[in-house]
Each structure stands twice: as C-alpha cells, then as structure tokens.
Amino acid sequence: MNALRVGELVEPDEVVIGPMRRRHLPSVLRIEKQVYPRPWTMGLYLGELALPASRLYVVARRGSRVCGYGGFMLTLDECHITTVAVDPQLQGGKLGTRIMLVLASRAVARGATAMTLEVRMSNKPAQELYRKFGFAPAGVRKGYYAEVNEDALVMWAHDVDAPAYGQRLAAIEASLPDRTKIEKV
C-alpha cells in the first residue's frame, strides 16, 4: 500500500486511510447511528482510542469527509475485528475492502497469527467481504445482536502470518481499481 507523505496532496476522490482521532468521532458516530441499531458511544470510542498498545482504529476519508472506519483489538497473537462500517451512501465502492486491507496488514505486523469477528447472519455482503480475507464460519452466537433478535456468525482466519496470507492481501489490493493512500497507522 502506498504510504502518504506529510504535505502530499490528495485528489478529492482518492481514499486516504489513517488513524482515528478524537476529531473524527462526530463523523464516525454519524455513520455508526446509520448502520447499527445499538451504536457505540463517544465514551466507548474514547476508551478504545486510549489503548493504543492493544487497539487500532482507522478512518477512511475522501477529502475531509469520513466515509468509513474500522478497528481491532489484539490479545496476544489473536486479532478481534471489533468494527467495520461504511457510510450507507458509499457502500459497494470497495471502502470496506480498503479498510479491511489496512486492519489485516496491521494486525499481522503486530504479531497476529489469527483473526476473528462476528457478523450478522443476515449480512451476506459483509460475510462475502470477510471470506475474501480468508475468514471462514466457525460457529454461531445465538441472540448476539439482542436489539434486533439476530444471531451472529463467528468467523475466523487462521495462519494470517504465513506467506500465503500476505499473497492473498497483495492480490486483493491489486484487484482494486485505484491505490489507497495510507497515513502512518
């Protein structure tokens, strides 16, 4: 992935992914309220951002507009993807793929050997995205999304530190129509 240099100009429609900062939270919460029945709160995000040794949260921007975000929690060598969301008006434009590329590559760089996540049973597009990243169904959490009375599909990707997984990430990146600029995360 191309790293963004300080002072480098960015095209208005170009996607830039960088660290989530406090100043991004109003936009993150706006998207959060649109995509989740029980959105995370400002306090929850502030708590997560206060744990940089074990957490990573990023935002995807076009110009100054936050259009998506994602994050993970790292426990020993396991990465738990805690959230991935894209502004509903921009879904289907590969922003989720770009966010997942950054999360997966940073998890591996931090020593992850496996990744896991939960996804709504009804969210087939997200499940397909995660399958592209090597996640496979491993179980069901009954009633996990209590606010909408829906089960969660638990998915895992193993051996993400192996060369084959790096090749998978490179192939996904090469399949995108343009390059994403990555700020230091």
**Number of domains forming the structure of the chain:** 1
139 conformational bin, left if phi > 0, alpha if psi -120 to 50, beta if neither: left
Please state, in angstroms and rounded to a whole number, the distance separating the CA atoms of residues 27 and 156.
29
Flag whether the pTM goes above 0.85: yes
Residue 11 falls in the annotated catalytic set: no
Residue 118 falls in the annotated catalytic set: yes
Structure confidence by residue, pLDDT tens digits, 128-140: 999 999 999 999 9
Over 90: is that where the pLDDT of 142 sits? yes
List the domain range (segments joined by +) for residue 11.
2-182
Structure confidence by residue, pLDDT tens digits, 54-106: 999 999 999 889 999 999 999 999 999 999 999 999 988 899 999 999 999 99
Over 80: is that where the pLDDT of 13 sits? no
Over 90: is that where the pLDDT of 1 sits? no
Please state, in angstroms and rounded to a whole number, the distance separating the CA atoms of residues 61 and 24.
10
Residue of 45, 57, 69, 130 marked active site: 130
- Read off the amino acid at residue 68: G
Please state, in angstroms and rounded to a whole number, the distance separating the CA atoms of residues 95 and 132.
14
Q: CATH number, domain at 88?
A: 3.40.630.30
Residue of 32, 45, 57, 118 marked active site: 118
Q: How confident is the model at residue 8 (pLDDT cuts 50, 70, 90)?
A: very low
Average pLDDT, whole number, for the chain? Answer: 91
pLDDT at 146: 82
Which of 19-28, 33-42, 171-180 has the highest mean predicted lDDT (pLDDT)?
19-28
31-35, 39-43, 146-150: range with lowest mean pLDDT: 146-150
